[in-house]
Structures are given as structure tokens and as C-alpha cells.
């Protein structure tokens, strides 16, 4: 707790019974919640008020924000204020949430009330652990949160303050301070707010830019519309990609496929070029082109080539499977080191070490070997088990050290032989069997064929995660004979996939499969 008020000689001074103006700030690590609280307290004191701030830390790993609580009163001679250490539900004047779901949490905590609370919230998302751990889309519904805040708050100011701050080279605390100034909730002029930022002595100009942008935004458009689903952004198809091999891919994409599929196809080409090389991306286009030819024969034009569009997405996903080579490649990329340094706020003269937890199995080691060698070891159970006892151990790897960096770098260099590995052979076999099932359905049930392509979403990750995904994929596909000739087969296939994505153990899928068996 940080005290900003002298409580000495209370016996000689009558305690003030005036009601303080109260503010609660909900912010996560790295968002500058403490700086924002200090700015507000400093502003109040500079204007002759008395103020106090306390903080209650949240839980690590993005399961709760730190709550900074501020109370302030105009100073009165001989009257010592009575300040609370914690916000009282139903008695907070201003709630500031540095992330949309934290605004929802403030409503659940009772900090936001319709008779008095001004809610200032950023509409951007920083996903919680509970959202990330879902096998499928576990992202909270932003529209539900906004509806709740509209009902719970007396007045709401909500827009993407994080993006605004980053655009101006600052952090979200500066734009939130500007939103507070623009709201008129505090009886202080704009110049007093700006003076507080200047008194900080660090990052003054970027902070002032973000502050003024937010201040003006509150005056012009205090609310942003939100959507239940996050918007998807696709790069436009360029006239040239800047390299002959890439230009050939872009030209082929434009010439052979319907325009409705271009965004996903271009995304797939970029993904697979990064994953392997331009030749691999060209192989992807050839495979999707064959599927598109079948789509045309099945009168796919009348359905906006939904089969081709779905194939453009999930064939790329299937071809960019997660293997040991891919994991090693991502771990040693320079862009990743720079991103982590930026996230932790490291200075130029500071060294940052990342510790990765890795738990390889002998299955992954064999999968990285040439096909013949991998099969030779797998066909000898005693040798396989003996090697697995050595390999199958959890390891904490510091990728910033020379030993581990070089080791992972050499593994990432195996991408040159990826097409000859046992894992690649098995991925191709699985992919072609899946696509054959979808193609066989085109003339029977077009919509069901599209849903079968979407089932590839269940297969992801590597090691145990990949094994669980394959198991769910196989179980969902096992219902295909029962759904093949049903008019509502596509709808049921979609329900099964959604059930498989609800929980890691597959309990919801078990129930859904039993229901299908009774149809």
C-alpha cells in the first residue's frame, strides 16, 4: 500500500466525514496500471486534494488483473480524511479496465453500478488461460460483456485504447489517462493531466500523443462496436511478390482459382513458403486445384465454391503440420527473441533468457528420421523402448544459451529433408485418406463433404496433443457411414466436431456420438 496522506497527530484534528471520490483500475502486468494510479494520485495532490492508492495483485498467467484503488478528497484545514483500503461493491465512482474481459469481471465483482459508476474500458483482448486451454474456440463473447456493462454502468466509454497507445509509441496507461481526462469525471483541467505526464520524465512525447488521441476520441466517438467473433484480416493479392518463384505462385493462384478463394489461398501460400519452401507451396496449389476441378463438376459454383474455399484453408493446415523441425525453427527465430524482449520490457543492456519446457518422445525422434530408418527402429520394440527411456524425459531448455541454440538450430535445418521423413510420409497418407473421403461425398452430399474438410481442425500440435487430436478426428469420422445418406448429415457432422472441441477429454463427443447412433 502506498500512503499519500499524513495521519500524524490525529488526536488534535477532527476526522472528515466527506465522501471521497473513488476510482478502481483493473490492469494486467505490463499495462502500466501502477503508473496510471500514480498519475491520478499525483494529479489530485498537485491540485490541492488529498489522495491514497492501494493495490491488490492479481494471479499470474493471466487469470486476474491487479486492482489499484484510489480515493481522493479536497484538502480541508484541520480535517484528516478517512480513506478505505479496498473498493466497496456498489460504491465506486469510476472503474477503469485495461482489457474488455476485465470490464466484465468488474461488473461481476459489483464494482460497476448503474446509479453512479462511469466505466472506462479498452475493447481489445488479452486472452485468459481459461480461453486458451480450450481445444476449440474458447474466446469469451465480447457482445455479452458489452451488453452487461451497458446495463450495469451509469455511463460507458469503451474503445481500443491498446491499439491507440501502440500506434503512438506508448502504453495503454497513457491512453486510459486521456480517456479519463476526456470523460470529465475528475474536476481538473486537461493541462493539469498533461503536466502530470511531463513530470514523469520518461517517454513524455509518446505518452502525450497517446493521451491526446484518447482525449479527442472520447469527445468524438466514446464507444466502439464489438463483435462476438474477432475479425479476420487477409492480405490483398499483390501484383508482384518481389521474387520470381513467388510471383509464379501468385500468378498461378490468380489464373486457376475463383476470386472468392484468393484470400485463403494466398494465406496458405505464404504459410507453406515460410514452413518449407516455394516448391511446397506450389504442391499445395496443385492439390487444391485438383479439388477445385471436382468442385466445379459437382456444381460448386452454385454454392460459391464452398468446397474449394474450405480446402484452401484446411489443406494448408494439414501440410503445415507441427513436427519437431517446425518447433525448433520457431524457437530460434530472431523475431521471437525480439518479441519476447519487447514483451518483458528489456533494455538494450539487459540479457533475457527464455526457458522452454520440452518433453520429446521416441515417436517424435523416429518421425524426424528418414522413413526407412524410422520404420526399422519402430519395428524393434525392445530397441524402441530402450531408446525411449533415454529420450522420454522433460527438459528445461534455455534457448538463449549457445549449446541449446545450436542444438535447436541444427534440428530446424532438417527442414531440407522433411519430405523424406517418416512423419511426413504418415502425414501425406493421412491427408490423402481424409481428402478421398471428402471427394467421395461431393456427388452424394455437397454440404457434408465441406464439413468433412472442416474436421481437419481437430488435428493440431505435436506429441501427446497431436495424438489426442488424431483420436478425436478418427472418432468424429467414424460417424460418417451413419450420416452419409441423411439430409441433415452435414449439420450432425458439424455438431460432432463442435462437441470434440468442447473439452480435452472428449466427454462431450462421447455423448454426441451416442446420440448419432440412435438416429
pLDDT digits (tens, 9 = 90+) for 264-273: 999 999 999 9
Kindly indicate the confidence band of residue 442, based on its pLDDT and cuts at 50, 70 and 90.
very high
Q: Which fold has domain 10-220?
A: Pyruvate-ferredoxin Oxidoreductase; domain 3 (3.40.920)
Percent of the chain topping pLDDT 70: 93
Task: Pull the grid cell for residue 35.
Answer: 503508473
Per-residue pLDDT at 156: 92
Kindly indicate the confidence band of residue 230, based on its pLDDT and cuts at 50, 70 and 90.
low
DSSP 52: E
H helices of 257-380, in order, are 262-275, 278-297, 306-319, 324-331, 334-344, 362-368, 371-378
Give the pLDDT mean for 259-266: 94
CB 378 within 8 A of CB 384: yes
Which range (6-20, 288-302, 334-348) has the least confidence? 6-20
Task: Pull the grid cell for residue 156.
Answer: 460507458
Give the pLDDT mean for 136-158: 81
What distance in Å separates the CA atoms of residue 158 and residue 163, rounded to the nearest whole number?
13
CA atoms within a 13 Å half-sphere pointing along the CA-CB vector of 268: 30
CB 209 within 8 A of CB 169: yes
H helices of 128-224, in order, are 129-132, 142-152, 161-167, 172-183, 190-200, 204-220
Other Cβ atoms less than 10 A from the Cβ of 174: the count is 31
CA 434, 436, 441, 446 torsion: positive or negative?
positive
What distance in Å separates the CA atoms of residue 419 and residue 280, rounded to the nearest whole number?
9
What distance in Å separates the CA atoms of residue 476 and residue 470, rounded to the nearest whole number?
10
What distance in Å separates the CA atoms of residue 426 and residue 44, rounded to the nearest whole number?
66
What distance in Å separates the CA atoms of residue 312 and residue 77, rounded to the nearest whole number?
73
State the residue for C-alpha cell 479498452. Answer: 122
Across-strand partners of 66?
27
Task: Pull the grid cell for residue 453.
Answer: 474438410
What distance in Å separates the CA atoms of residue 441 and residue 439, rounded to the nearest whole number?
5
What distance in Å separates the CA atoms of residue 260 and residue 306, rounded to the nearest whole number?
9
Per-residue pLDDT at 226: 73
Longest C-alpha distance within the chain, in Å? 94
pLDDT digits (tens, 9 = 90+) for 163-201: 999 999 898 999 999 999 999 999 999 999 999 999 877
Per-residue pLDDT at 5: 47
Across-strand partners of 97?
26, 121
pLDDT: is 303 or 234 the higher one? 303
Per-residue pLDDT at 12: 44
pTM of the model: 0.75
Sequence ranges of the domains in the chain: 10-220
CB 447 within 8 A of CB 300: no
Across-strand partners of 120?
96, 157
Nearest to 445 by CA among 497, 494, 478: 494
Which range (7-21, 24-38, 104-118, 381-395) has the least confidence? 7-21
Across-strand partners of 121?
97, 158
Put residue 51 in one of left, alpha, beta given phi > 0 → left and psi -120 to 50 → alpha. beta
State the residue for C-alpha cell 472520447. Answer: 218
Nearest to 141 by CA among 104, 109, 196: 104
Amino acid at each position: 500500500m502506498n500512503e499519500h496522506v499524513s495521519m500524524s497527530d490525529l488526536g488534535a484534528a477532527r476526522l472528515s466525514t466527506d465522501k471521497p471520490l473513488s476510482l478502481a483500475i483493473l490492469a494486467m502486468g505490463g499495462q502500466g496500471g501502477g503508473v496510471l494510479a500514480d498519475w491520478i494520485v499525483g494529479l489530485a495532490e498537485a491540485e490541492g486534494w488529498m489522495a491514497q492508492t492501494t493495490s491488490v495483485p492479481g494471479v499470474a498467467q493471466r487469470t486476474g488483473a491487479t486492482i489499484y484503488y484510489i480515493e481522493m478528497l479536497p484538502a480541508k484545514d484541520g480535517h484528516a480524511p478517512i480513506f478505505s483500503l479496498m473498493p466497496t461493491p456498489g460504491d465506486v465512482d469510476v472503474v477503469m479496465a485495461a482489457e474488455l474481459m476485465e470490464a466484465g469481471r468488474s461488473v461481476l465483482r459489483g464494482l460497476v453500478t448503474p446509479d453512479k459508476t462511469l466505466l472506462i474500458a479498452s475493447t481489445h483482448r488479452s486472452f485468459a488461460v481459461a480461453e486458451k486451454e480450450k481445444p476449440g474456440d474458447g474466446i469469451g463473447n465480447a457482445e455479452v460483456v458489452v451488453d452487461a456493462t451497458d446495463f450495469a454502468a451509469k455511463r460507458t466509454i469503451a474503445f481500443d485504447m491498446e491499439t491507440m497507445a501502440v500506434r503512438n509509441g506508448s502504453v495503454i496507461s497513457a491512453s486510459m489517462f486521456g480517456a479519463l481526462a476526456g470523460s470529465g469525471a475528475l474536476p481538473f483541467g486537461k493541462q493539469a493531466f498533461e503536466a502530470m505526464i511531463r513530470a514523469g520524465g520518461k517517454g513524455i512525447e509518446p505518452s502525450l500523443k497517446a493521451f491526446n488521441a484518447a482525449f479527442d476520441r472520447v469527445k468524438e466517438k466514446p464507444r466502439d462496436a464489438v463483435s462476438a467473433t474477432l475479425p479476420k484480416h487477409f492480405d490483398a493479392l499483390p501484383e508482384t511478390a518481389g521474387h520470381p518463384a513467388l510471383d509464379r505462385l501468385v500468378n498461378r493462384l490468380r489464373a486457376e482459382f475463383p476470386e472468392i478463394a484468393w484470400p485463403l489461398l494466398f494465406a496458405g501460400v505464404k504459410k507453406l513458403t515460410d514452413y518449407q519452401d516455394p516448391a511446397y507451396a506450389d504442391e499445395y496449389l496443385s492439390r487444391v486445384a485438383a479439388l477445385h476441378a471436382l468442385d466445379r463438376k459437382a456444381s460448386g459454383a452454385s454454392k460459391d465454391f464452398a468446397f474449394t474455399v474450405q480446402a484452401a484453408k484446411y489443406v494448408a493446415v494439414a501440410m503445415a503440420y507441427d513436427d519437431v523441425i517446425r518447433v525448433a525453427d520457431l524457437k530460434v527465430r530472431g523475431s521471437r527473441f525480439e518479441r519476447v524482449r519487447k514483451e518483458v520490457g528489456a533494455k538494450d543492456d539487459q540479457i533475457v533468457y527464455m526457458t522452454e519446457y520440452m518433453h520429446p518422445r521416441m515417436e517424435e525422434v523416429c518421425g524426424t528420421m528418414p522413413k526407412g530408418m524410422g520404420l526399422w527402429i519402430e519395428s524393434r520394440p525392445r530397441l524402441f523402448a530402450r531408446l525411449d527411456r533415454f529420450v522420454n524425459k522433460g527438459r528445461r531448455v534455455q534457448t538463449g544459451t549457445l549449446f541449446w541454440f545450436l542444438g535447436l538450430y541444427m534440428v530446424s535445418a532438417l527442414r531440407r529433408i522433411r519430405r523424406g521423413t517418416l512423419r511426413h510420409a504418415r502425414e501425406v497418407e493421412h491427408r490423402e485418406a481424409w481428402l478421398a473421403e471428402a471427394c467421395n461425398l461431393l456427388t452424394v452430399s455437397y454440404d457434408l463433404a465441406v464439413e468433412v474438410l472442416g474436421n481437419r481442425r481437430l488435428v493440431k500440435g505435436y506429441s501427446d496433443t497431436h495424438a489426442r487430436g488424431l483420436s478425436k478426428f478418427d472418432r468424429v469420422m467414424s460417424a460418417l457411414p451413419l450420416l452419409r445418406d441423411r439430409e441433415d448429415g452435414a449439420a450432425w457432422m458439424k455438431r460432432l466436431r463442435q462437441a470434440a472441441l468442447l473439452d480435452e477429454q472428449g466427454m462431450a463427443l462421447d455423448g454426441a456420438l451416442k446420440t448419432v447412433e440412435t438416429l
